Amino acid sequence: MLALRRSEDNGRTFGPLSWPYLPGLARHQKADGQLLWDDTRRRLWLFFAVFRDHSPNTCIGDGENPQGLMLMHSTDVGRSLSRPLNLSAQIRQQWPSLCVAPAAGNAALDLGAGHLVFMANVVGNDPDAPTGGEILIHATGEAEALNFTVSRSLLRACTSGGQHCDFDEASMAVVPSVPAAGDGGKQSVFVVMRSDPALTHTYATALSTDSGYTFGSVTFRPDL
């Protein structure tokens, strides 16, 4: 379950537990909740995944059986939270074959000027698409009517030593860079992610210089 505690004295003490999301069905699992402070919109975002039975049989679910990547927000620093918005419905409009995967590794970044990026593990049920990997969801626009754009650049399968592998359980960070003239304020985003061939489990890295819309080549890192 997702649990939340608040501190009002810079972390010296914490208040009682609260439960940001309880669908009421014991078979639902909540994965890897991430909190993100949005300095532009002055609100707190909670990003997490909901799935059931450790099997993504459906991409979005229904009213009684929700499933997907969820986004909630708070305008009072976590004292109360909005109803969850199912981002998978937005993803499906741009890539119908994608479903949320029951894996850890959700991440969130504030790139400034109201540009948020959320990353999560997804699976593809299209035979012409990779079977799994990381996807980035860009959120821009007004707080109550965000626009979501899906970046497919990290949704890619790989082979290593003849073994099939997927990317999952990733993390990302903004890295310092010197902005190029006329780049529109783009940021450099560095990603490290687990690849999962049966034998090697090598970590991989990738770098984006356009705020995570596209990434350069994936580099496998045995030292990790």
Report residue 112 as tokens: 């400034």
Task: Report which secondary-structure segment, H or E, holds 87.
Answer: helix 87-94
Q: Can you give the pLDDT at residue 179?
A: 59
Task: Report which secondary-structure segment, H or E, holds 203.
Answer: strand 203-208
d(CA 196, CA 164): 8
The number of CA neighbours under 13 Å toward the Cβ of 85 is: 19
pTM of the model: 0.86
Structural domain boundaries in the chain:
30-221
Report residue 14 as tokens: 């914490």
The pLDDT tens digits for 139-195 are 999 988 899 998 877 876 666 566 666 787 889 999 987 555 456 678 999 999 888
Which stretches of the chain score pLDDT less than 70? 23-29, 31, 52-66, 102-103, 124-131, 156-165, 178-184, 197-200
Q: Can you give the pLDDT at residue 161?
A: 60
Q: Can you give the pLDDT at residue 174?
A: 93
User: What string of DSSP letters covers 152-191?
Assistant: -TT---EEETTEEE-EEEEEEEEE---PPTTSTT--EEEE
Neighbours of 108 (CB within 10 A): 22
Q: Can you give the pLDDT at residue 40?
A: 94
Q: Can you give the pLDDT at residue 81?
A: 92
According to DSSP, the β-strands at 98-100 and 116-124 are: antiparallel
Q: Can you give the pLDDT at residue 56?
A: 47
Give the CATH class of 30-221: mainly beta
